[in-house]
Amino acid sequence: MDALPDSPDPEFGQTCASSRRWPPTVALALSSVRRAYNDLMLRAARSSSATLGQWLYGARHRAALSIDEAANAAGVYRPPSFRTRSRSVPLHRMPRR
């Protein structure tokens, strides 16, 4: 964690991971943070007081589905501009082509 530079940028993780100027320790730190987050979410999903989001995270993880694959399986349309955010658009609001 100490290897990560300070950044208020909301796309920090993507920018940091795709940049060639960061040392390999940054990639290792990001991996460590992601593993810790994943472990925490899966533990929360097993809790009797799990929220719907935690439960869905666990179910998606057990099914080895990406966010877009899970959204597609649930019938939720996620336009490309929303794929970096946590919002989804129900199919009935899907833009006509």
- Could you read off the pLDDT of 47-96 as tens digits, one per residue? 999 999 999 999 999 999 988 888 888 888 777 766 554 444 454 555 55
- Could you read off the pLDDT of 20-35 as tens digits, one per residue? 677 888 889 999 999 9
Q: Residue 55: what pLDDT?
A: 93
Provide the token pair at 36: 């810790």
Place of tokens 């179910």: 59
The single-letter code of the amino acid at 8 is P
Place of tokens 């009797």: 48
Q: Answer yes or no: pTM beyond 0.85.
A: no
Domain boundaries, the chain: 1-48
16, 7 contact by CB (below 8 A):
yes
> Residue 45 is inside which H or E element, if any?
helix 24-45
